[in-house]
């Protein structure tokens, strides 16, 4: 697909159409997040601001949860950084398809990188233009923001029992993401189970249960990842000379 032969509007529109399914999928997830957050006493403008500036379900759900419990800002910052650090790797990979772009434009477009947007962008043949990627990210971002806005308004009027019940939707989304991949990958399954095991230790063991939830999440994730990196190292790629 050769994007640079088209006009800017055409490239943006093509990217927007490509991202429409993600836009529709983001709306109910952000709606459930907003209802749960508002039902947990976060002011609705704060919830909307979190979605518009963070744009990541797992990161902002964890950050909002820590805000609700009164966690200190350094703990919240490090937790969200660890959860969102995968976007650094995605952006490095995606930059190979966006060569020849000014740094400022790259920084602006980097705010639109999510798992689904990254996948759609990498499926395009050859290089892609900044306008195509901007259109690709615009739809999902709009769906995420509108879903959050609708959820904050609904959270103000829904009874607490229903608001808390909608929190299950976020966990269901995480399960839907992890389980299919874990069924096909022993390293991923091991990392997930180890992280769950470490989290349980921090939850129930004396002394360990005094560690703040944010730091417990960080330590569990890093420990599980480190153990799996040692246990399941990637095989070095074979060079043409050695094959």
Q: Determine the 3-state secondary structure of 14 from DSSP.
A: helix
Query: In the prediction, which pLDDT does 50 show?
Result: 92
Count CB neighbours of 127 within 10 A. 16
pTM for the structure as a whole: 0.72
Span 19-77, pLDDT tens digits? 999 999 899 889 988 988 888 888 999 999 999 988 888 888 888 888 888 888 888 88
Span 182-230, pLDDT tens digits? 888 898 899 889 999 999 999 899 988 888 877 888 888 889 988 988 8
CA distances from 234 to 16, 82, 98, 188, 240 (A): 36, 22, 27, 13, 18
- Which residue matches tokens 């639109």? 112
**Which pLDDT band holds residue 169 (cuts at 50, 70, 90)?**
low
Instruction: Return the percentage of the chain with pLDDT > 90, whole number.
Output: 26
- Which residue matches tokens 């039902």? 39
Comparing 168 with 96, the larger pLDDT belongs to 96
* Nearest CA-CA partner of 39 in 151, 132, 149, 188: 151
Half-sphere exposure of 194 (CA within 13 A, CB side): 19
- Sign, Cα dihedral of 109, 115, 117, 123: positive
Query: In the prediction, which pLDDT does 193 show?
Result: 92
Instruction: Return the percentage of the chain with pLDDT > 70, whole number.
Output: 88
Q: Are 148 and 34 in contact (CB under 8 A)?
A: yes
């Amino acid at each position: 697909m050769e994007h640079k032969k088209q006009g800017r509007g055409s490239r943006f529109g093509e990217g927007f159409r490509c991202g429409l399914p993600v836009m529709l999928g983001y709306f109910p997830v952000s709606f459930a997040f907003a209802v749960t957050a508002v039902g947990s006493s976060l002011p609705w403008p704060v919830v909307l601001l979190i979605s518009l500036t963070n744009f990541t379900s797992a990161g902002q759900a964890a950050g909002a949860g820590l805000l609700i419990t009164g966690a200190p800002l350094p703990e919240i910052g490090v937790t969200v950084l660890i959860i969102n650090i995968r976007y650094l790797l995605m952006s490095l990979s995606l930059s190979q398809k966006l060569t020849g772009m000014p740094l400022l434009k790259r920084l602006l477009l980097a705010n639109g990188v999510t798992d689904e947007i990254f996948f759609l962008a990498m499926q395009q043949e050859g290089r892609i233009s900044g306008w195509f990627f901007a259109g690709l990210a615009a739809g999902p971002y709009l769906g995420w923001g509108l879903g959050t806005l609708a959820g904050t308004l609904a959270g103000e009027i829904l009874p607490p029992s229903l608001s808390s019940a909608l929190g299950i939707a976020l966990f269901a989304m995480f399960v839907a993401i992890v389980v299919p991949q874990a069924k096909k990958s022993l390293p991923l399954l091991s990392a997930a189970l180890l992280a769950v095991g470490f989290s349980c230790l921090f939850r129930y063991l004396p002394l360990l249960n005094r560690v703040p939830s944010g730091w417990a999440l960080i330590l569990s994730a890093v420990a599980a990842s480190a153990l799996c990196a040692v246990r399941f190292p990637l095989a070095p790629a074979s060079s043409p000379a050695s094959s």
